[in-house]
Amino acid sequence: MSNTNTPTPHIGARMGDIAETVIMAGDPLRVKFMAERYLENPVCFNEVRGMLGYTGTYKGKRVSMMGHGMGMPSIGLYTYELFHFYGVKTIIRVGSAGACTKDLHVGDIVIAQGACTDSNYGDQYELGGVFAPIGDFGLLRSAADCCEKMGFPYKVGNVLSSDVFYRENPRTERWMAMGVLAVEMEVAALYFNAARSGNRALGILTISDHILTGEATTSEQRQKTFTNMMEVALSLV
């Protein structure tokens, strides 16, 4: 894309300000924490609507980090602009999720092989059927290998990307019966956008609460202590 497409309505960066690999999180303060903790010489490229973005280097490799907000409309918007207007080739989401299987515990990592959804986000493609949004296998395999090497507890499988946080009539048990590991709100839209643009994406999630046991974490813990998934994401750069 030419430089005339940037800055976009939602990202204040110029072409070249953003690396080809972007690690994203819903919370812009988590992004700020990651950039300050891991990046060498981070430069802020975006503050539009408070959705912070930084570019720096990690072990000599150029990488960007940016917030994507909550929900599929929000991550769908930001990742569309990154893929289509900034030349981004790989987006890795690091986020939180609620476990819906007894085999997971707070702090465990889920690598999203696929993302089921109750959203109508995919209707825009007019496919006439059900598209299965999946992560990039190369990224997934490398992320799993990193978890094994580092000794991080993890599982690979389906997640549910839901449009609704406070659902009137929860149907969690139906998704559980289909083997869904955890619930979050963004990965499906990320995978749709990656597929449509011919790029790579992966969702790496930390269990922040447990639907079955009631275990939970604080917002500060979610912002600053889920470093295992951040290190897995950085290993993919």
Residues taking part in catalysis = 209
pLDDT at res. 87: 97
Q: What is the pLDDT of residues 90-103, one digit of tens each?
A: 999 999 999 999 99
pLDDT at res. 224: 67
Cα angle: 204, vertex 75, 125; to 5 degrees: 105
pTM for the model: 0.95
Q: How many alpha carbons lie under 13 Å from residue 125 in its C-beta half-sphere? A: 16
List the domains of the chain with CATH numbers: 3-234 (3.40.50.1580)
The one-letter amino acid code at 103 reads D
Q: What is the pLDDT of residues 106-135, one digit of tens each?
A: 999 999 999 999 999 999 999 999 999 999
For residue 107, the SS3 value is coil
pLDDT at res. 1: 41
Distance CA 5, CA 136 (A): 27
Yes or no: say if 40 and 119 are a contact pair by the CB < 8 Å rule.
Answer: no
Q: Does 164 have pLDDT greater than 80?
A: yes
Q: Does 225 have pLDDT greater than 80?
A: no
3-state helix, strand, coil in the chain (%, to 5): 35, 30, 35
Beta bridge partners of 24: 66, 93
DSSP 216: B
Percent of the chain with pLDDT over 70: 97
